[in-house]
A = this chain, B = another copy of it.
Amino acid sequence: MVVASATTRSREEQIHGAIRAAGGRLTGPTRAVVGVLVESDRHLTADDLIAEIDRTYPGIAPSTIYRVLMRLDELGIVEHVHSGTSPAFYHLRERGHAHLVCNECGRIIDIPDSMFSQLAHTVEQAYDFTVEPRHAAILGRCAACRS
């Protein structure tokens, strides 16, 4: 069972404020998506969200969840990250961080943007290309799977 702590409660309201400030409407499905994202505080695929919302706030259509995610992404409330073969995952936008994804077990590791700085700088100089480190995960193999 999902229990909202005082902390997540205030976090949720803070995000509601941000949505209003960005010109978004606080509809039921939007609250549900934000609620699950705040509560789980993990990286969830659209499918994860659909399943979890179906348990917690039944009656919301999958298509609506896709649309809410798209809207919140545009409003800058959430971000999505591409991770190879598996579908993109979503998370609340917070202090920018990039991701490592293990090709074998799918484990997701958060890393600071700063680790990209040298690569980003080199690429900018050499190719006049601005890297968006948070938009795609770096793939590889985690220690456990490298056995």
Asked whether any CB of chain B lies closer than 8 Å to the CB of A119, the reply is yes
Q: Can you list 22 pairs linking A and B with CB atoms under 8 Å apart?
A: A82-B82, A82-B84, A82-B85, A82-B139, A84-B135, A102-B129, A103-B135, A119-B119, A119-B138, A123-B138, A127-B143, A129-B140, A130-B140, A130-B141, A131-B138, A131-B139, A131-B140, A132-B140, A132-B141, A133-B138, A135-B140, A136-B139
Please choose the segment from A3-11, A40-48, A109-117 that sits at the chain B interface, where 4 or more of its residues have CB less than 8 A away: A109-117
Closest-CB distance, A134 to chain B (whole angstroms): 9
Chain B residues with Cβ below 8 Å from A140 are: 123, 129-132, 135
- Complex formed: what's the CA distance from A100 to B128 in Å? 11
Q: A residues near B, CB below 8 A?
A: 82-85, 88, 100, 102-103, 109, 111, 115-116, 118-119, 122-123, 126-133, 135-143, 146
Is there an interface contact between A128 and B142, defined as CB atoms closer than 8 Å?
yes
Chain B residues with Cβ below 8 Å from A116 are: 119
Is there an interface contact between A141 and B119, defined as CB atoms closer than 8 Å?
no
Chain B residues with Cβ below 8 Å from A84 are: 82, 135-136
